[in-house]
């Protein structure tokens, strides 16, 4: 994803022509026109970036949230009602909500102890506890510290996959992320853990990438 310059709130204020153009793009998105989504991204991402950055203050997290925003726009386009507000306002509302949630997750997981990570996993899925191999590995301080250094969304996906034992399909449904995104983020997270801990440590999690 390209990294746009951070835009001032009023620098790209939409006019009537922009509104009409964005409504047209959303109508095409409803018809599953991927080119329309790309055009909407290109025309609005500077404003979305500005809103998300204000909440996250983290480039990598901002980029992940922005991807989530436009995926949500793709899925929820049929719900958009131009009579209730401007298209850009609709996008920015999603951006604020996603950014606030991402920031809260980042802060919560950054300071979580091993026991609190257990609680997070239990809250995410009421099923029996994590597989023994992963539970034992997670008790190692080095693994906990390595997990704590992951981006919040990557850490969340690892917790869901290896604490709660969810499949990639289940994680995609729960997080409203594309299946391919879930797989690639978990793969990158596990690659990062391998680099920090060595193959032996992550092998004990039972993880495959």
User: Which residue in 19, 78, 68 sits closest to 43, CA to CA?
Assistant: 19
What average pLDDT is seen over the chain? 75
State the average pLDDT over residues 108-122.
55
pLDDT exceeds 80 at position 129 = no
State the average pLDDT over residues 8-19.
59
The 10s digit of each residue's pLDDT in 47-63 is 999 999 999 888 878 88
User: Which residue in 100, 112, 175 sits closest to 147, CA to CA?
Assistant: 112
Length of the chain: 209
State the average pLDDT over residues 93-114.
78
The residue among 93 and 67 whose pLDDT is bigger is 93
One-character DSSP codes across 28-81: HHHTT-HHHHHHHHHHHHHHHHHHHHHHH--HHHHHHHHHHHHHHHHHHGGG--
State the average pLDDT over residues 83-100.
93
pLDDT of residue 209: 42
């Amino acid at each position: 994803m390209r990294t746009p310059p951070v835009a001032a709130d009023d620098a790209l204020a939409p006019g009537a022509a922009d509104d009409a153009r964005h409504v047209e793009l959303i109508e095409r998105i409803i018809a599953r026109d991927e080119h329309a989504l790309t055009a909407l991204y290109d025309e609005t991402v500077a404003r979305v970036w500005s809103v998300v950055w204000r909440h996250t203050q983290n480039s990598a997290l901002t980029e992940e949230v922005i991807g989530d925003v436009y995926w949500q726009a793709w899925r929820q386009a049929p719900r958009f009602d131009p009579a209730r507000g401007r298209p850009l306002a609709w996008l920015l509302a999603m951006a604020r909500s996603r950014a606030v949630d991402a920031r809260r997750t980042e802060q919560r997981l950054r300071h979580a102890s091993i026991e609190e990570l257990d609680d997070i996993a239990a809250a995410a899925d009421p099923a029996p506890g994590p597989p023994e191999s992963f539970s034992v590995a997670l008790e190692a301080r080095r693994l906990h510290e390595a997990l704590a250094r992951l981006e919040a969304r990557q850490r969340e996906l690892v917790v869901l996959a290896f604490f709660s034992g969810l499949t990639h399909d289940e994680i995609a449904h729960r997080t409203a992320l594309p299946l391919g995104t879930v797989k690639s983020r978990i793969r990158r997270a596990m690659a990062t853990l391998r680099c920090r801990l060595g193959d032996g440590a992550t092998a004990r999690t039972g993880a495959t990438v």
